[in-house]
Amino acid sequence: TNNIPVTETWMRKHRLLYDGATRHPFILSIRQGSVDFSSFKRWLVIGQDYIFVRSFVPFVASVLVKSCKEPNNESDMEVLLGGMASLADEINWFKKEASKYHVSLTSVVPQNANVTYCRFLESLTGQEIEYPVAMTAFWAIESVYQQSFAHCLEEGGRVPQELQETCERWGNEGFGAYCNSLRDIVDRSLQKASAEVISKAEVCFLSVVEHEVEFWNMSTGDA
Ligand code: HMH
């Protein structure tokens, strides 16, 4: 029988690449408590990610518009609307953190890797991008982040106090359940998709994971 969900086959096939994102040296340094949360790292985690999230909003809006045109879309729409609401909350959190650490969000200059990632998001907002492909990107973006920070919180971690809240924001179980809902939407939408769309979605998944690695590579300052 072949009822293994598509996302599960990708995870098995691309495990090493995926772990390269969720177990990135920067993430491991947070987990181990060896991260130096100097102004530079704060600028990355708060300032660069704020820029990313601002570009993420129109992308999510485009996925929401696509979901409305899908048959049996009631639950998809609700999950995506919840995602939008949590982004509104995230933006407020970035503002709060920025003022705490005196990071000026309006003067943060996006780094190359971030600009490239934001452009990638923009390229996925067009009408020609199929719903399962866009949903795949959405799920992968949220899941990589969730699993990275959840890993920091797993037993044996020594997350520094000042990063505890950050890890909990994305690593909490509720956010994990939300990511599973996104994954279920991807798997369901791919069940009816053509082989061409399935392979486009897989390429999109891999691109997200690569962009996430590049995002954390900025932490070494030479990205
Ligand atoms: C770089 N990826 C990055 N930032 C985020 N905030 C998320 C994913 C999840 O929202």
Mean pLDDT for 4-11 is 97
Q: Is the CB of 120 under 6 A from ligand 1?
A: no
Rounded to two decimals, the pTM is 0.96
Say yes or no to pLDDT of 223 above 70.
no
Q: Is the CB of 103 under 6 A from ligand 1?
A: no
Q: Label residue 141 exposed, middle or buried (CB < 10 Å: 0-12, 13-18, 19+).
A: buried
Q: Which of 24, 26, 49 to mutate to test the pocket of ligand 1 (most atoms within 8 A of CB)?
A: 49
Q: Which of 80, 87, 145, 167 to mutate to test the pocket of ligand 1 (most atoms within 8 A of CB)?
A: 145
Residue identifier of the C-alpha nearest atom 4 of ligand 1: 49
Q: Which two tokens stand for residue 70?
A: 């899908």
pLDDT digits (tens, 9 = 90+) for 26-76: 999 999 999 988 877 887 889 999 999 999 999 999 999 999 999 877 899
Q: Is the CB of 52 under 6 A from ligand 1?
A: yes
Specify the pLDDT at position 39.
72
Q: Is the CB of 142 under 6 A from ligand 1?
A: yes
pLDDT digits (tens, 9 = 90+) for 128-181: 999 999 999 999 999 999 999 999 999 999 999 999 999 999 999 999 999 999
> From ligand 1's centre to the CA of 50, what distance in Å?
9
pLDDT digits (tens, 9 = 90+) for 185-220: 999 999 989 999 999 999 999 999 999 999 999 998
Residue boundaries of the structural domains of the chain: 6-220
Mean pLDDT for 84-107 is 94
Specify the pLDDT at position 71.
86
Catalytic residues: 212
Per CATH, the architecture of 6-220 is what? Up-down Bundle (1.20)
> From ligand 1's centre to the CA of 169, what distance in Å?
11
Q: Is the CB of 45 under 6 A from ligand 1?
A: no
Specify the pLDDT at position 222.
59
pLDDT above 90 covers a percentage of the chain that reads 88
Choose between 2 and 98: higher pLDDT.
98
Q: Which atom of ligand 1 is nearest to the CA of 87?
A: 10
Q: Is the CB of 59 under 6 A from ligand 1?
A: no
Mean pLDDT for 103-109 is 91
When mean pLDDT is compared across 16-20, 98-102, 173-177, the lowest value belongs to 98-102
Q: Which two tokens stand for residue 68?
A: 């409305």
